[in-house]
Amino acid sequence: MTEPNRNTAALLAALALLFAQGPASAQLVTRFEAGAVSSSSAGVVPFNAFSLTPDVRYNGRLVDFAAHGSAWLAGNDWQFADGDASATFTSPTRKHVSVQLMADASRAYYDAVNQNDQVEARARVHLIFSQKGGMWLESGVARPWRVAVVSSVDVAGAGAWTTLGDATITGTLTNFSFTRIAAADDSTGTLQSCTALADPGSCLRQSHFSDVQGSVHWEHAAFEVDAQTGYRFGDATDVTDDSRRWASATAVVWVSPEMALVVGGGRQPANPARGLPARNYAHLGAMFAAWPAMSSGAVPVEAQGSGISRFEIAAAGASLQRVQVRVIGVHRVEVMGDFTDWQPVAMVQRGRDLWEALVPIAPGVHQMDVRVDGGKWLPPPGTPTMRDGFSGEVGVLVIQQ
């Protein structure tokens, strides 16, 4: 076998290992947003366009893939705008610790002048205190193209999150460090500090700045709101006045499980590492979500804190039971019981708040638990409960003949 073939085989084997988690845990969700977008850089006339924004996510047990893009109709011409593809590996949580590895390739497009591409890799170590909060440390590196940055961008940061009722509050501190080409002197003619001269008129300059950002995600019934605000630390040569502070918000109203109205706007700070200026933006549109069909036989805090608002089980054929859970704003729901030999089975998201699994449960008395986002195993709400002998509880099901 030649060297390239060996490497290909190794790559395929690694992919096989990742996907060997089984189809039971697979989750494919597609979304499509159509609407009007308006944006402007400081002092520039607003740019208005009709935009189409497709979004595809594949959530496996350990690996998630996501891709989204946007295309703008400005005048009579379509313009492919932003695009992003990412893969995230998340390890199972053991003793409150989880590790995330993220790889991302993106294209940013503001206008004909301000556009470039970037690849990025980050690693995060999460410390999860409970389903109510946690924190993380992260480090990574990014490499932009077609921009006056001559080094990789080193990224280091930390974050913390907590839940309060229906809201999740997150705070982050992220530091960026990179080398860029800058003018050798400023507008007053004062010579700038340079690590080296690139040419007589410009120099290589070490830049760094830090972003502190707070964000809130709130979901209740058919409403979702995301809002964030931030402040940037750094000297005047790295941070322009128009990027010291920013704020933005987006509201989503679901008119059906498959369709929502989206409205949002705010100020986006400059991205010096990618040479993108600050801008104001507003958008108004409709979002369409497609959830996977449930094929026959396909299976992937405290009780009040699990967030599960409803649990139902009903016959779905000769030997299958359809287990349904309604819970909002979570990423993973699993069920296990004596009917699965106590092996977790990932439920499939069938709607914004609806998760479902088809499992073979024979008539009789069974014990089971449900887990949300890798948290504590808990009895489903509304079922009789009993202690499990391991300092936890289980729900008891009675499946009639």
Partner 1 sequence: MRRGTHGAVSALLALCMAAPLGLLAQGSDPLAQLDATTRHVVQVLMDSARSEGLPTQPILSKAQEGISKHVDGPRIAAAVRTVFLSLRGARTSLGAQAAPEELKAGAFALQAGIPEGALQGLHKASHGKSVTVPLIVLTDLVTRGVPSDTASNAILQLWTRGAGDADLLGLPKAVGQDILSGAAPGDALLKRARTIPLRPPGKGSE
Please report, as ranges, the residues that interact with partner 1 according to CB under 8 A. Answer: 3, 6-7, 9-10, 13-14, 16-17, 20, 304, 336, 338, 341-344, 364-365, 367, 377, 381-390, 392-394, 396, 398
Please name which of 247, 269, 231, 342 lies closest in space to residue 42, comparing C-alpha atoms.
Answer: 269
Alpha-carbon radius of gyration of the chain: 25
User: Among residues 12 and 191, whose Cβ is nearest to partner 1?
Assistant: 12
* Least distance to partner 1, CB of residue 78, Å: 43
Residue whose entry in the numeric block shows the structure tokens 């997150």: 170
- CA 349 – CA 383 distance, rounded (Å): 22
- CA 337 – CA 360 distance, rounded (Å): 11
* Least distance to partner 1, CB of residue 205, Å: 37
* Least distance to partner 1, CB of residue 6, Å: 5
Cβ–Cβ under 8 Å, residues 320 and 359: yes
What phi, psi does 302 have (nearest 5°)?
170, 165
User: Among residues 1 and 236, whose Cβ is nearest to partner 1?
Assistant: 1
User: Among residues 13 and 148, whose Cβ is nearest to partner 1?
Assistant: 13
* Least distance to partner 1, CB of residue 389, Å: 4
Cβ–Cβ under 8 Å, residues 266 and 1: no
* Least distance to partner 1, CB of residue 9, Å: 7
User: Among residues 13 and 73, whose Cβ is nearest to partner 1?
Assistant: 13
Q: Is the dihedral of CA 119, 144, 243, 35 positive or negative?
A: negative
User: Among residues 81 and 368, whose Cβ is nearest to partner 1?
Assistant: 368
* Least distance to partner 1, CB of residue 397, Å: 9
Cβ–Cβ under 8 Å, residues 178 and 151: yes
User: Among residues 317 and 392, whose Cβ is nearest to partner 1?
Assistant: 392
Angle at 285 between CA 280 and CA 291, to 5 degrees: 125
Please name which of 25, 48, 26, 46 lies closest in space to residue 37, comparing C-alpha atoms.
Answer: 48
User: Among residues 66 and 301, whose Cβ is nearest to partner 1?
Assistant: 301
* Least distance to partner 1, CB of residue 15, Å: 10
- CA 89 – CA 134 distance, rounded (Å): 18
* Least distance to partner 1, CB of residue 345, Å: 11
Assign 380 to helix, strand or coil.
coil
User: Among residues 28 and 87, whose Cβ is nearest to partner 1?
Assistant: 87
Q: Which residues of 257-285 are buried (b: 16+ CB within 10 A; e: fewer)?
A: eeebebebbbbbbbbbbbbbbbbbbbbeb
